[in-house]
Structure formats: C-alpha cells, structure tokens
Structure 1
Amino acid sequence: MRWLYLLLLLGGLCYPASGQPGVRPDTVRLSALTDRLSATGRALLAVTDWPTPLVVVQRGANWQPVRPGQLTSTQHAYWLYLWLDNDTDSARTLYGYIADNQTATAYIVAGPRQAGPRLLDSLRTGTLIPTHAWPVAHSDQYIPLRLLARQQVALYVRLANARGWLPALTGSPKPRPRLVLRLETETAHDRMTLGEYRKNSTELLYRSWIQGALLFIALFVGLIYAHYRQPIYGYYWLYVLAGCLFSLLKTRSYTPLGHWLSQAPLLRTYLPETIMWLGLGAYLFFFVDLLNLPLHHPVAARRLRLLGRAFAGFGLLYALVLLLTNDGGVQQAVFWGARYGLLPVYVGLLIWTARRVESPLVNYVLTGNGLMMIVGVLAWLRAGEVLLKDVTLPGGLDNLMTVSFAVLLEISVFALALARRIQLLDRERVAHQQAYIDEIEQRTTAEKRIAQVEMLALRSQMNPHFLFNSLNTIEYFVLKGDEANATRYLANFSRLLRLTLNHANENTVRLSEELQGLRLYVDLEATRFGDEFQYTIEADAGIDQEDVLLPPLLLQPFVENAIWHGLRQSPRPDKRLWIRLLVQDEHTLRFEIEDNGIGRRQAADLKSRPANARKSFGLAITQQRIDLFNRTYPARLAVQLLDIDTNGQTGTLIRMTYRLSPTPFIYESRSD
C-alpha cells in the first residue's frame, strides 16, 4: 500500500488535474506571445483552505474557469493553473505579473514532454514577502518564468493573504486577494519597467525633496531640543519625526530605500498608521504648549493631553494587533473609522480654537491645519482616482498632492509659529529686563541722592567744627592782645570762609581749589604758631590740578589733626609739616601729609587726660565722607596712617591714595 501511495503522489505531480479529465486548462504558446497577455481568463481556478499544499491541489482540487468579477476572501487560497509551451527553438523568459497580492507563489511543474515527474521551481513574491526572497530584485509584483527550448510546463500560481502569528480577530474578507495573472515577454517587461521609472521620475524627485526637507527639519529641531530641553521643542520634534518616518515608509519599493525597508514588510505596511497616531498625540501636546492653554484654558489643556496619550496608546496597540494577526478587518475599520471619526473632532477643535483662544499664534495654527486639510483631501481624492485621473499638471505639480507634502506644509507653518513665539518671548524678556534695569537705575539714583544728603549732613557737621576751631584761634589772639595777627588772621579767615561757602553746594571741587583753601587754613595756623612752625606744599608737575576732582575739604581735617594733635604738643622748636601731591601710576595719585610731632601714641595718651581732652570730630566725619564717596562714585579713596619713629625722631605720615576712574564720570551738583 505504501508503494501504491507514492506512485499516486508522483502521478499527481506528473499529470496535473488528472482527477478532472473533463476540465483542461488553456495552453499559452510562447511563439504566439509577442508582448503581454492577460492569462487570468485562460487559467483554471481552485479555491482551497489557506494551508492546502500543492500535492493535494493537484490530486483533488475542484478546478473551474475564472468568472469575471469573482470575489475572493482572506480565509482562502486561490490557485490559478495553466500550461506554458515554449514551442520555439530558443530558451525564453516570461514575467508573470500578480498585482499587489500579499503573497504569490508560482510552482513550475515539468510537463509530459520531459522525462520523469518533478517540480522544476517554486518562486515567492508579494507585498508581505521580504526583499531578499523576491525573485525579481526591483519589484514585489513579478515572477520570472524561464523555459528551455521546446519545454512544456504546468504553472500553478497560489494567491493568498499572509497569515499572522495569531488568528484574526475579525472575519473580514478584506483586503481580498486579487485574481490577476498577466504574462509579459522579456522585452515588454523591460519596456514596462522603464516606462514606470520614467512615469514616476518626477514623483521620485518631489518625494526625495520632501523627504530631504523633513529629515533636515527633524535633525534641526532635534538639535534645538537637545540644547534647550524645553518640552514644546520635544513635542514638535516628535511630530516632525512622525511626518518624516511616515514619508520614508511610503517610499516606492524599487528605490534603494524602499528596497531596504521591504526587508520587514509587515512593519512597512502597518507602521505608517501607527506613526500617524503617535504623531497626532505629539501634535496635541505641541498644540497645548504652543497656544499656552494651561494658563488660559486649563481644563481644555488637560483633556487634550489626555486625548494625546490615548492616541499614542491606541497607535501602539494597533501596531501590536496588526503585526500579530495581519487582520485586514481591523486595518480597514481603523483606517476608515479614523478618517470619518476624527474629522469632526479635528474641525471642532479648530473652530473652538478660532473662537475661544486668544493668542497671536492662533492664525498660524489655523493656517497650518488648513493647508494640511486641503492638500490631504486632494491627495486622498487623487489616490482614489476621483481627481486628476490620468492628468499631469505643468512641472508634475500633481505629484505634490501627497500626505507627506501636506505634513511638510503644516510643519513649515508651525516652524514660523515657533519663530514668532520665540520673538514674543524675547520681547517679553527684553521688557522685563528693561523694567528691571529701570528699577535698578531708580534705586541707584535714590541711593545716590541719599548718599549726597548724608554727605551734605556730614559737611554740615564739619563746617561748624571748623568755624569753632578758627574762632578759638581768633579769641586766642584777642586775649593775647596781638591785634596785628588777629587782624591778619581775621582777613584770611574771611577769605577761607567765602571759599568754603562757595563750595557749599558742590559735591566735588577741583584739586587747585582744594589746595587754595588748604593754604589759607595752614597760613591761619602758622599765624598762631609763629616762627617755630613751617610748612611745605609740593605738587608733582604731572598732575593737572584743574582736571582732578575731590570732595571739598578732604585734606583739611588731616592737616588740622596733624597740627593740633601732633605739632601743638611737641616741644620741638622746629615744628614742620609737609604736604605732598605725587603721581603713583597712570591711574593713581598719592597725597601725603607728614609732621614731626609727638606721634599718635603720645597724642592718644595726652588726649586721654581730662585737661587735654579735645575730641577730633573732623577726622571721623571725613572718614565717613570718604566711605560715602567710594560708594557713590567710580573713583576710589583710601587712607593709611603710619607712625614715624626713627633715630629718636617721631611723627605721623598720612598717605592717601586716590584711584581715578578709567572712564570719565560726572559729579552732580546739588541745586537746592
């Protein structure tokens, strides 16, 4: 029995359709095929369950002629059967066109002229067959059929949808396998292929341009997001990336990119829809942040973000289900349900935005979505051959009516919206900075005026102190009966008082004016001391005394302190005072006041005695004025007190450094 079974099996391979002696397929003779031939109507058709093998089909299939318009189903496999007879004296190659079926398998079985039954070849192609398995490298719709001279073969073509790893969730008959078999000579095939390339060259050019633009924008926005890390740039980048990937996955299979992508045909088939849903989710998040909805419409913002998460989750679930089941019913339901279900939501969102959202960026959103809608609908109508069927616009502009181009237009408008947003934020930032600067300037002006008032108050304290000391000196001469010195002293005192009053409203005076007042004061003190007191004022010739500005009565308190607390208590017959004005460096002057008096330590001991107590208000007030001056103006004053104790010689050296401002500055006068 086993040998009988094998004999029947081999007989089935050698003599196809022997179980149907009354039904014979047509024979296509290659000598009569000069171009191309629709072989569907000349073949026999058998419908089997999806996993039925060739051997079973040969033995017991119910072969029938193909009926015009015959419907197919996703649950079955469809077998086309006919004979090919190369009745010429040379080998010939035919190409069988099987349209866009998911899977097509051609079995070439040796005919009765060949010795011995055998399966000569089996070839697989189809939209869900990986690229490396295609028998024709440039297309998933052709099968090459090679026949030797005088060779006769039986051709079985199995057309069916691909099965998923899991059973289909629906019993939908779509997408239906197409009962198409067209035979083409090698010359006709080359001509058809070249014609397709030429026909689609303009489309390829525009598609490459669109994809290049999308890739560039995706890279550019990705770099911006990587640098700034702001969520709005991340959402925009995800949306651009979704549009870019959608366009790349739609590349034709005969291009290098399309050929590479077809290595994973299931991903290439079902990822575009998934990417569309993910892109919609990213778009809603971008939409919320672009129009700043959380601030003005927090409820709508929360709902739109929730909807965006739902879209993204649905897209991932869709991809998982389709990759596992290859269920065309789910695909069709999602495709049409999304188009008709989302359109009212989409339009309603735009209407709500136009009416309720107050933002300078609303027009950009409406313009971008309007362009997307118009071009998308035109692309849909063109793909369905409702619009521009067999019509070519000048320059091939009809090839721009694609979803990818619609996405590019929308993305470009959104890029302008982002640029406008950056401009508005920059203006707001500049306005805030200017307000802050104005506040700082107002605060600085107020602090400066406060400092001026404080300095004026200190001078108001120092002027009575100076008057008190001078009147004491006049009183001393009067009590002594020295009318000549009293008269001369009173004259110099009046000149000094007039000079002091002239500077009462000034925050600064010229160095020459300061020295003039200082000479008058020292002359007054020299009159009191008599011949035992001598002083010297030395000024470096490199100092422009008219250009250097100082607080008025800056040096006088230090000179007064040297005379009253250093020289007056000294028993020396030669009391000396040196006042030196020196150039320390390009930006620094040095003032020195030196005396050969008793020194600060002995002066402090004498001042501690009740009989000699004389508090130096002027020096303390001057130090406060210096502190205020340093806080108010860019120039800097610093005072250093040094004790002299060398070889029994005592005294005090006051060294004052005056660092000039590197840039000119203006000292304001008090006008009230």
Structure 2
Amino acid sequence: MRGFWFGWLLVALVLPGLGGGNATAQPPAVFSAALPPSGFIDLHPNVGVFEDSSGRSRPLAEVRRESFVAFESQNRLSKPKVNSLKVLWFRFRLRNVHPSDTLRAVLYTGRHTFVTVMEEIQPGRPRQTASGGYWAGNQPNGPALDRYGLPLALPPGQTRLYWVRGSDYFRSFDRFRVELYSLPAYQLFMAEKTRQATPALIFFSAVLGSVLFVSLFSLAQALLTRDRAYAWYAAYLAGTLLWLWRSADMSLDLTPPLPNPKLFFALTLVLGYGIQLAYLHFLGSLLQVPRQQPRLWRWLRGYLGFVTLLMLVSLAEIAVGGFWRGGFLFYTVVSVLNYGALLLFLGLLFRNRHPLRHYAITGSLFLLAGVITTVYLNRSGFQTSSSLTRTPSTYFALGTLLEMLCFSLALGRRSFLHEAEKQAVQRQLIGQLEENQRLQQSHTVELERQLEARTEEVLEQAHRLEAQHLRQVEQGFEQKLAETEMTALRAQMNPHFIFNCLNSIKLYTLENDSATASEFLTKFSRLIRLVLENSRSERVTLATELDALRLYIELEAMRFKNKLTYSVTVAEAIDAQYVEIPPLLLQPYVENAIWHGLMHRPGGGQIHVGVEQPGEDCLRITITDNGIGRTAAGALKSKSATRHKSFGMQVTGERIGLINQLYRSQTQVKIYDLVDAEGQPAGTEVILQIPV
C-alpha cells in the first residue's frame, strides 16, 4: 500500500513540473505503480498534438516531421466542420519506473470514428498495438474491451513513445481527450456512461415504438382505404423509424454499426432525402394540393426533382470519396436553400382551403424545427451533462412526436369531417329518396293513366281491326262471288252466239248455198274459238276484241244478205296490241244496234266503231248506227228484239257493274239518239268510257 501511494506521489510531483514546453519538449508521464481502481489520469500536459487538414491519409513517417503543439483545451473541444474529415495526431511518452510490474492501462480518447495507437520501442520503428473507434472495433492486441477502450502495456523500467491517430468523418461524436484508466476504472466509467444514457434510451424506445405503431396503422389504412395520403405517411414514418434508430444507435452504441462509414452516410442521405420526398407527397395528398393549388404543385414537383438530384450527387460524392474533402460551404448553401424552400412551401400552404391545413402546417413546423435544431447541434458541437439533451437526434425525435400528434388530431378532425359529410350525404340521399318516391308515385299515377288510355286505344284498335278484318273477309267473299258471277256471265254469252249462228248456217244449207255456208262456217268457227278463249280471260287486248267484233259483224252481214256495212277506226296514238279491255264488252251493243236499229231499215244500214284515247288512263269507244232509232224500235215491239234485249243487254249491264265492283273502276256507258236535219230519228250512238 505504501508503494502504491509513493508511486502516485512521484507522478504528482513530476507532472506539474513537466507540463509546459514546445513541440519537442513534452516530458514523459512517469508511473511507478498500477493505476488507481477509479478515476483517470489526464495526459494532456504530456501530449503534443498536430491537426492534419490535408484531407488524405498520411503515413506516420511523413507526419512525425510536422510541428506538434501543446494539447490545449481549445484543441480538446474543437469539432470538425460538417461534410469534412478531421484528423488529429497525438504524441506522448510513458515511463514505467517500477522495477518489476508491467503498467497495464486503458487509453480513452473519446467516441470517434477511427482511433489507432502505435508505439516505438526502438526509435524510428513504430508498430500498431491497438485500434478502435465507432467503425473500427478492437484488434486482437490487448483485452477485448469495447470500441473505444484501447489497451496499453508498458514493461517495467521502460520508456516508450506513443503515436495516436484519431479521425472523425462528417461529425464528431465527442471531444478529443487523452486519458488513462485502469481496467476496473474504465469499466466503472463505461457503466456510469450507460447509466447516464438510460433516459435517452427510454426516450428513444418510446419514440421508436410510437413511430412504429403509427406507421403500421397508416400502412393498414392505406391498404384498406387505398388512400395515398396514408401510403405516403407510412413511407415517411418507415424512413423516420430507420433514421432515428441509426441516429440513436450512433449516440448510444446499441448495436454494431454498418461495415463502413461510407455505407452509413449513404444510407443516412437516402433516408433523409427519402423522408423529405415522402413527407412532401403526404402533404400534397392530404391537403389535395394538385387540385386546389395546381401551380404550387407544379413548383413542388420541380423542387422534389431537385432534391432527388441532390441526393444522387451526394451519393456520387460518397462513392468517389469527395464527401470527406471539405464541401462545407456547398452543403451549407444547399441546406439553407432546402430549408428556405420548405418554409416557403409551408407559407404558401396557408392559401390552401382544405380544413386540415392548420394541423398539417403546425405539424410540419414542429418537424422542421426539430430537423433544424438537430442539424445545428451536429454542426455547433453543443454539449450538456445530460445524454438526452446532448444527443442531436433527440430534437428530431421530439419534432416527430409533435408532428405525429398533429397528424393524430388531423385524423380525428378528418374522421369528424367525413362523418359530417357522410351525414350530409345521408340527408341528401334521404331527401333524394323521398323525392324519388314522390316522383315514382306521380310517375305511377301517370303510367296508370297512360296504361288505361293505351288499353282503351288498343281495344278500340282491336275493334277496328276486327271490323276491318270482317270487311276484308266480306270483300273477299264479294270478290270471289263477283269473279264467279263474271265467269258465269261470260259462259252465258256463248250459247247466244251459237244459237244465232247455227240458225244462219241452217238457212244457207236449206238454200243449197254451200259456198256461202262454208264461208260462214269458217268465220263462225274462228269466232267460236275467239269467244271461248276470251271467255277464260279477265282482260284481252283491244286488237283481239276488235277481231272478234269484225267476225261477228261479218257473220251478221252475211245473214242480212250484205245489206249491212261497217267500219272500224282506231286512233293512231293507240297501240291496239298493248291496250287491254274486258272481253266481249262491245259485241252486245253492236248486236243491239243491228237487231233494234238496222233490222227494220228497208235498205239496210251502216255501223261505225271508233276508238279514241282522250286521256292516259281512259279509252273511249263509240258505236254508231243509222237505224230507225230506239223510239221506233220500241213501238214495233219486236219479239225477237225484245228477247235479244232482255238477254244480251241485261247480261252486259250486269258485267259492267261487276267489273266496276271488282276492279274499283268507273266504266261508263252512255246511249244517245241521233236525228237528222228535219228532226227525224237517224240512228243511235253508244259511248263507252273504259279505264285502262
């Protein structure tokens, strides 16, 4: 025990006297006993320091020629500029004056990126004994402590020169220091640091749990409702969760770090810019900026493209290593522009008319304040005694919590608005349903009225159709009956011709006039053939009808011993082979003229048949004789004439009536008595108007 206190008394007496000096005169720290079980030995009076600002990794052989200065307080508290590389070289000597015990100590320089310890047993021949740091860990040399405790072993009776290289990338976790601990003291020191980090650990655990819960809730809502606002918010919170986890882990050493700092900072950049992109898309979807502020949304899309480009440039810098060689001014300007653009965007959102804009803007301001505070603390090197308040990401986490609170309030307000809108829609729907019901009732009444009217109309139409059908049936029967009667009448005319002609043939035979009888028989046979053919046809050509009429007149002329002459004239414009008329329509009138007018004329007479066409659809046939006239013929009361008139004219009149009924035509017959200049009867004229 006396040896222990004697050794430390020697150190206490030697160190103050050796505290000053220039770069070549820092005295060694002399130890004659083991280090105390608690506390530490501050070696800064014995340490020379050189700050390497070249931005590259320089070998010790080159650095040892530089000028080392005393390790003063401003050097211990200095921090590197953001986006730069800070390298400090420390040089000190340790002397173990104990005759038999090896001095075993733990060197602690603070929490830094890389720390390497080299010792010179022989001048000019250094060797690495330990390395540590956030991304380095410990080499197999020395005991397995943690990332920051560097083991040293100094044999008894020896003095050695130590070189320590410490570097920080992007940011400094801690101030540089040079302290020696015994192993128990270092363990107590780290246990105390863990105890001090407990509030920060609890705080970050609560924050990470809250962010995880809200992100899962937003993801579930996005999947259920297909709402893009929830999807972007879930993406934003997922990135925030990862960023807070890595930031808290860097400050509290919770888990092993990523393999190298470039990968860590690349992930940090991607998360940082990705969080910004997702959050701005969330604000655009929540507040319906594309619809309510299209110009602002176009500007925001351009800004998002700029942020994406900035992220790619930063990743490229990390890949080529330029990220560590300064760039402080560039990233300062970019950060100012970035935060200025965000503040401008939030200011322009006040013009938005969405009812949730106040919640969104307030939450965004909380979040932006946390981000700016975190960035400022990272750059300024702000230090407090509390691990919670001196951790920069604490303020970002606090801003995230306040932003999530505003988001929760916005969700509540949104649910209230949706419920109010739903009730308004329901009321509108109920009103519309009532209006539809009223219209339906009115429409039903109108349909019933229309149905009743339509039913009456259908019944009336059915009655009309039934009556029309009956009329059609009656007309069909009448037409069939008329056709039957017409056929019968045409058949009735044949015996009349035969009777008259046979009497004439008989007369010529009795008179032994065989030549005349033969000629008469020939013409008679031709006439019979034409009559038989025409009697089977409803209409015949005008030429056929006139041929039959000529044969008949010639036969009658032969019977009258050539006392009868005739003439037939047809207008040149009439095509007798084309125009058709009912068959056997003219012969009864010619027969009536012969038997009633010419038979009682002493010197015979003449018959003229003229055919004209006064119109396109009308044919006029005139039959004229120079007989005794109808008055004289009636006075004679000829039995033969009476028989002929009652048979031939009656049949012809019935045929004309049936023709008019059957063909819906207007065949007309007019008979005129002719007189001479003295007023005496001079014959008869029959005019037939036949439609064609």
> TM-score of the superposition, structure 1-length normalised?
0.54
Alpha carbons 2:384, 2:390 under 8 Å: kept: no
Which residue identity does 1:362 align to in structure 2?
Answer: R
Instruction: Give the whole-Å Cα distance in 2 for the aligned partners of 1:441 and 1:369.
Output: 46
The residue that corresponds to 1:314 in the other structure is 310
User: 1:492-536, CA deviations, whole angstroms, 9 ceiling, x for partnerless residues?
Assistant: xxxxxxxxxxxxxxxxxxxxxxxxxxxxxxxxxxxxxxxxxxxxx
Aligned residue among 141, 145, 149 for 2:152: 145
The residue that corresponds to 1:182 in the other structure is 179
Alpha carbons 1:131, 1:262 under 8 Å: kept: no
Aligned residue among 290, 294, 298 for 2:294: 298
The residue that corresponds to 2:45 in the other structure is 41
Alpha carbons 1:103, 1:127 under 8 Å: kept: yes
Which residue identity does 2:42 align to in structure 1?
Answer: S
User: 1:345-383, CA deviations, whole angstroms, 9 ceiling, x for partnerless residues?
Assistant: 3433333333x2222112102321343355556667777
Instruction: Give the whole-Å Cα distance in 1 for the aligned partners of 2:229 and 2:220.
Output: 13
Which residue identity does 1:363 align to in structure 2?
Answer: H
The residue that corresponds to 1:26 in the other structure is 28
Which residue identity does 2:201 align to in structure 1?
Answer: L
User: 1:559-612, CA deviations, whole angstroms, 9 ceiling, x for partnerless residues?
Assistant: xxxxxxxxxxxxxxxxxxxxxxxxxxxxxxxxxxxxxxxxxxxxxx9x998899
Q: Is 1:98 matched with 2:109?
A: yes
Instruction: Give the whole-Å Cα distance in 2 for the aligned partners of 1:247 and 1:291.
Output: 27
Alpha carbons 2:129, 2:141 under 8 Å: kept: no
Alpha carbons 2:218, 2:230 under 8 Å: kept: yes
Instruction: Give the whole-Å Cα distance in 1 for the aligned partners of 2:172 and 2:422.
Output: 57
1:458 deviation in Å?
5.1
Q: Is 1:358 matched with 2:353?
A: yes
Aligned residue among 397, 401, 405 for 1:404: 397
The residue that corresponds to 1:125 in the other structure is 132
Instruction: Give the whole-Å Cα distance in 1 for the aligned partners of 2:96 and 2:272.
Output: 49
The residue that corresponds to 1:221 in the other structure is 218
The residue that corresponds to 1:83 in the other structure is 94
1:303 deviation in Å?
0.6
Q: Where does 1:21-420 land on structure 2 (aligned, <5 Å)?
A: 26-29=28-31, 31=33, 33-34=35-36, 35-45=39-49, 50-54=56-60, 56=61, 61=65, 64-66=68-70, 68=72, 69=74, 74=85, 78-85=89-96, 87=98, 89-110=100-121, 122-129=129-136, 139-147=146-154, 153-160=160-167, 180-253=177-250, 258-269=254-265, 271-325=267-321, 327-328=323-324, 332-333=328-329, 336-354=332-350, 356-373=351-368, 389-390=384-385, 402-420=395-413
User: 1:209-259, CA deviations, whole angstroms, 9 ceiling, x for partnerless residues?
Assistant: 101111222222223334444332222222212321221111244857x42
User: 1:304-342, CA deviations, whole angstroms, 9 ceiling, x for partnerless residues?
Assistant: 122123223312422331353163465634654355444
Alpha carbons 2:120, 2:162 under 8 Å: kept: yes
User: 1:471-505, CA deviations, whole angstroms, 9 ceiling, x for partnerless residues?
Assistant: xxxxxxxxxxxxxxxxxxxxxxxxxxxxxxxxxxx
Q: Percent sequence identity over matched residues?
A: 17
Alpha carbons 1:45, 1:81 under 8 Å: kept: no
Aligned pair in 2 of structure 1 residues 62, 390: CA closer, same or farther (>3 Å)? closer
1:80 deviation in Å?
1.8
The range that moved more, 131-140 or 194-203, is 131-140
Which residue identity does 1:186 align to in structure 2?
Answer: L
1:105 deviation in Å?
0.8
Aligned pair in 2 of structure 1 residues 262, 234: CA closer, same or farther (>3 Å)? same
Query: SS of 1:402's equivalent?
Result: helix
Query: SS of 1:180's equivalent?
Result: coil
Instruction: Give the whole-Å Cα distance in 2 for the aligned partners of 1:372 and 1:134.
Output: 46
1:298 deviation in Å?
0.8
Aligned pair in 2 of structure 1 residues 85, 229: CA closer, same or farther (>3 Å)? farther
The range that moved more, 408-417 or 360-369, is 408-417
Instruction: Give the whole-Å Cα distance in 2 for the aligned partners of 1:149 and 1:411.
Output: 61
Tell me, which stretches of 5 or more residues in structure 1 are unaligned?
1-19, 163-172, 469-604, 614-672
> TM-score of the superposition, structure 2-length normalised?
0.52
Q: Where does 1:361-510 land on structure 2 (aligned, <5 Å)?
A: 361-373=356-368, 389-390=384-385, 402-425=395-418, 427-428=420-421, 431-432=424-425, 435=428, 438-439=431-432, 441-456=434-449
Aligned pair in 2 of structure 1 residues 351, 211: CA closer, same or farther (>3 Å)? same
Aligned pair in 2 of structure 1 residues 106, 390: CA closer, same or farther (>3 Å)? closer
Alpha carbons 1:41, 1:65 under 8 Å: kept: no
The residue that corresponds to 1:168 in the other structure is none
Which residue identity does 2:357 align to in structure 1?
Answer: V
The residue that corresponds to 1:492 in the other structure is none
Aligned pair in 2 of structure 1 residues 461, 327: CA closer, same or farther (>3 Å)? closer
Alpha carbons 1:108, 1:153 under 8 Å: kept: yes
Aligned pair in 2 of structure 1 residues 436, 403: CA closer, same or farther (>3 Å)? same
The residue that corresponds to 2:614 in the other structure is none
Alpha carbons 1:88, 1:150 under 8 Å: kept: yes
Tell me, which stretches of 5 or more residues in structure 2 are unaligned?
1-21, 461-465, 475-692
Aligned pair in 2 of structure 1 residues 76, 347: CA closer, same or farther (>3 Å)? closer
Instruction: Give the whole-Å Cα distance in 2 for the aligned partners of 1:92 and 1:326.
Output: 42
Query: SS of 1:251's equivalent?
Result: helix
Q: Where does 1:568-647 land on structure 2 (aligned, <5 Å)?
A: none
Instruction: Give the whole-Å Cα distance in 2 for the aligned partners of 1:145 and 1:463.
Output: 119
1:94 deviation in Å?
1.4
Instruction: Give the whole-Å Cα distance in 2 for the aligned partners of 1:313 and 1:191.
Output: 48
Q: Over aligned residues, Cα RMSD in angstroms? A: 5.0
Aligned pair in 2 of structure 1 residues 454, 386: CA closer, same or farther (>3 Å)? same
Instruction: Give the whole-Å Cα distance in 1 for the aligned partners of 2:411 and 2:343.
Output: 22
Instruction: Give the whole-Å Cα distance in 2 for the aligned partners of 1:57 and 1:399.
Output: 36
Aligned pair in 2 of structure 1 residues 360, 150: CA closer, same or farther (>3 Å)? same
1:279 deviation in Å?
1.7
1:197 deviation in Å?
1.1
Aligned pair in 2 of structure 1 residues 227, 106: CA closer, same or farther (>3 Å)? same
**Greater C-alpha radius of gyration:** 2
Query: SS of 1:206's equivalent?
Result: helix
The residue that corresponds to 1:544 in the other structure is none
Instruction: Give the whole-Å Cα distance in 2 for the aligned partners of 1:330 and 1:416.
Output: 43
Instruction: Give the whole-Å Cα distance in 1 for the aligned partners of 2:332 and 2:369.
Output: 18
1:406 deviation in Å?
0.8
Instruction: Give the whole-Å Cα distance in 2 for the aligned partners of 1:350 and 1:428.
Output: 27
Instruction: Give the whole-Å Cα distance in 2 for the aligned partners of 1:379 and 1:124.
Output: 30
Which residue identity does 2:28 align to in structure 1?
Answer: D
- Count residues with an aligned counterpart: 439
Query: SS of 2:353's equivalent?
Result: coil
Query: SS of 1:129's equivalent?
Result: coil
Instruction: Give the whole-Å Cα distance in 2 for the aligned partners of 1:462 and 1:67.
Output: 115
Alpha carbons 1:104, 1:124 under 8 Å: kept: yes
Query: SS of 1:287's equivalent?
Result: helix
1:268 deviation in Å?
3.1
1:401 deviation in Å?
5.2
